[in-house]
């Protein structure tokens, strides 16, 4: 539900995923496959750019992204 209305396909119906600490990069709308892994992606974008760090982190260090 969004704005007291059922989700439409343009807004994630039938499945919307919320991942705390990660942004919805590029507003991906259509999922073709899902890969489940016990390791985080080693993509530079996933490691450094697509993360939201807590406000307590003032000057991020590499270890903050681990």
* CB-based contacts of 16, cutoff 8 Å, min separation 6: 7
Question: Would you say 7 and 13 are in contact if contact means Cβ atoms under 8 Å apart?
Answer: yes
Q: Confirm whether pTM is higher than 0.75.
A: no
Q: Which of 8-12, 28-32, 58-62 has the lowest mean pLDDT?
A: 28-32
List the structure tokens of 54: 């807590």
Query: Could you state, in order of their start, the residue ranges of all structural domains in the chain?
Result: 1-53
Strand partners, 5: 2
List the structure tokens of 3: 């704005």
Question: Would you say 23 and 52 are in contact if contact means Cβ atoms under 8 Å apart?
Answer: yes
- At residue 29 the predicted structure's pLDDT band, cuts being 50, 70 and 90, is low
Kindly give the residue spans of alpha helices, DSSP state H, lying in 1-66. Answer: 44
């Amino acid at each position: 539900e969004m704005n007291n209305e059922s989700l439409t396909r343009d807004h994630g119906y039938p499945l919307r995923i919320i991942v705390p600490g990660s942004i919805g990069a590029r507003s991906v709308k259509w999922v073709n496959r899902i890969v489940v892994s016990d390791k985080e992606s080693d993509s530079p974008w996933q490691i450094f750019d697509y993360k939201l760090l807590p406000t307590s982190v003032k000057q991020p260090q590499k270890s903050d992204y681990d």
